[in-house]
Amino acid sequence: MFNLSYDSALIGFLIFIRISGILFTLPIFGDEPTPVRVRVLLSVGLSIVIFPIVMPEWMDALPKSGLELLFIVLKELFIGLSIGFISRLFFDGIVMAASLVGYQMGFGIANLLIPDANIQMNSFTAMHRIFLMLIFLVLNFHHTYVEVLVDSFRLIPCGMPELKGGLGELFIYATASVFTVSVQLSAPVLVALMFTMAALGLIARAVPQINIFTMSFPTSFFIGLLVYVASLPYFPEIVKTKFVENSRDIGSAIGWMTP
């Protein structure tokens, strides 16, 4: 019916494997809210779109045995997972910043089970995560991942990633950047809350009759939320800057795997 040869079907399958590895680890697309069947269908759709533009030399020779095909599949899956892993780190760093702030504001005492993320997080982090997803989609950052897909097929031949030493260093650096980004983004609120707690401590020493413990939660909540709302207008630009840095890391990862 479709007049599809064995060679074309095999190449399409390997394209699907790499794209699936990327999509299943990307932020938003790879999260629990996106059903598995939707991710699979999206991978199939992208594979059909990318298949005609893949260069003929992308696959030098067909595998001669099932074992050789298995190794190629694992390599393609590694390429996809590596790109998706680097892409997700900046998103996790920003969400981690909200977790630090929410804990200091007092929300850590009542974590919620977020069904769409399949994890527990406080209500402040859940709200911040929704804001981040909206900014991510409104600024069309997801279009960059399509470009990354095309570039990976253009630069990395089928089953031939070069596992250079710089790739491991990049993974370590990108993982460490999660904590760096989280501290940088949460610093304004954390500093404000630190001075607030210091002021409450002075009041407790000066006027012992005041029950500072009952005042600490509403005070920290109000001050933290006030600083957070005041910094929201700058948040899209910060997210854009961090995404540009993350895009460079993705390009570096592809470069380290390019033969």
What digits encode the pLDDT tens for the residues 148-178?
Answer: 888 888 888 877 777 777 778 888 888 888 8
| Contact yes or no for 167/253 (Cβ under 8 A) | yes
* pTM summary value: 0.76
**Confidence category of residue 120, pLDDT binned at 50, 70, 90:** low
Q: What is residue 256's predicted lDDT score, i.e. its pLDDT?
A: 81
**Confidence category of residue 119, pLDDT binned at 50, 70, 90:** low
Say if residue 207's pLDDT is above 70.
Answer: yes
Say if residue 143's pLDDT is above 50.
Answer: yes
**Confidence category of residue 19, pLDDT binned at 50, 70, 90:** confident
**Confidence category of residue 113, pLDDT binned at 50, 70, 90:** very low
Q: What is residue 250's predicted lDDT score, i.e. its pLDDT?
A: 84
Distance CA 183, CA 158 (A): 39
Average pLDDT, the chain: 78
Q: What is residue 1's predicted lDDT score, i.e. its pLDDT?
A: 46
Can you tell me whether residue 121 is helix, strand or coil? strand
Q: What is residue 3's predicted lDDT score, i.e. its pLDDT?
A: 63
Distance CA 136, CA 130 (A): 10
Question: What's CA 220's distance to the chain center, in Å?
Answer: 29
Give the residue, 124 or 180, on which the prediction is more confident.
Answer: 180
Q: How many CB atoms lie within 10 A of CB 186?
A: 22
Neighbour-count burial of 248, counting CB atoms closer than 10 A to its CB (0-12 exposed, 13-18 middle, 19+ buried) = exposed
